[in-house]
Amino acid sequence: MAFLFESFEEWKNYSVKKTLSLHAVVSEYEREQKDRTDLEIYNGLLKAWGVMKDAVQTGLQENMTSRSGMINNGAKKVYQHNRTVLSKEFQNLIARALAAKEVNSCMGLVVAAPTAGASGIIPGVLFTLQEIHGIEDEKIIEGLLVSAGIGLIIEQRASVAGAVGGCQAETGSAAAMASGAIVYCLGGTTDQVFNAVAITLQCMLGLVCDPVAGLVEVPCVVRNASAAAIANSAAQIALADVSAVIPVDEVVEAMGEIGASMETRYKETALGGLAATRTGQMIAKKVLIKDIAILPDEETL
């Protein structure tokens, strides 16, 4: 296998033909491509899972204030708030996705899954899933392998980078990866997993990348939380066999087409959308002044 697969259909056909589960196919790809043993793959993912869980805890326990001031312990505020909108589980899900992403915005250690900008989604989703369903780490690792497979195909057929395909590519891909992992970990079929990916992406299509002051903070952090919610909603829909109607491969194609036609100002250039608002511009100026103020004096160079 030179690349995992060109399409979700190929992944499914290969898995049926070889009577391998979805995660085992990704393991096979990892073994062949990176010359790693199953144990090495497992241990690597276990380590990544540990970093994800640590990021959630760090974001909920430590001071998360970014240098720009735009990030100011939002995750903790949500986690501790006494007014619950739906359920404590939902509140925790949102707080955890925010927490891991805030760690990234405050320059802490995260797993780029698939990118740093979207690094709160999979940790928030899987941490909460594991807690609610008492899922073993082994199964979560299988879910991460399935996530990786989903991300690899999206990357090849569309993009996972905001600078290439807008935020749909970044937070959208992460949400699709998370949704597929939820369905897989809960015993869903291959069709249900891929349907979850299709539904998630349908909900994220067209989302532009417009970070204020060019910093991966606003709206990135809150988008991680909403993407985590969409991942769960899509998983719930897919598990009930409600069809996405448009097959997953066609949805990914649509995402690629939308990304390619998106204007440059919506691709991480901080020239459009929220970044171009009056407040966004004002913050960008303040951040620039702060940056200049901390530059070393020419004479000291």
Contact residues for ligand SF4, defined by CB under 6 A: 117-118, 162, 167, 170-171, 209-211, 216, 219-220, 223, 268
Q: How far is the CB of 266 from ligand SF4 (least distance, A)?
A: 9
- Measured CA distances, 55 to 97, 123, 127, 135 (Å): 10, 8, 11, 19
The nearer residue to ligand SF4, 30 or 170, going by C-beta atoms, is 170
The nearer residue to ligand SF4, 171 or 200, going by C-beta atoms, is 171
**Calpha distance 218→214 (Å, rounded):** 9
Q: How far is the CB of 74 from ligand SF4 (least distance, A)?
A: 15
In the bound complex, which residue of the shown chain has the CB atom lying closest to ligand SF4? 162
Q: How far is the CB of 203 from ligand SF4 (least distance, A)?
A: 15
Q: How far is the CB of 221 from ligand SF4 (least distance, A)?
A: 8
Name which of 131, 138, 234 is nearest 178 in CA terms: 234
The nearer residue to ligand SF4, 22 or 221, going by C-beta atoms, is 221
Q: How far is the CB of 33 from ligand SF4 (least distance, A)?
A: 27
Q: How far is the CB of 39 from ligand SF4 (least distance, A)?
A: 34
The maximal CA–CA distance of the chain, rounded, in angstroms, is 69
Token pair 């407040």: residue: 279
Q: What are phi and psi of 222, to 5 degrees?
A: -70, -30
The nearer residue to ligand SF4, 92 or 171, going by C-beta atoms, is 171
Long-range contacts made by residues 274-277, C-beta under 8 angstroms, separation at least 24? 274/210, 274/211, 274/212, 274/218, 274/219, 275/210, 275/211, 275/212, 275/213, 275/214, 276/210
Cis peptide before 296 (omega within 30 of 0): no
The nearer residue to ligand SF4, 27 or 224, going by C-beta atoms, is 224
The nearer residue to ligand SF4, 94 or 145, going by C-beta atoms, is 94
**Identity of the residue numbered 123:** P
- Measured CA distances, 71 to 19, 77, 226 (Å): 47, 12, 16
**Calpha distance 123→113 (Å, rounded):** 9
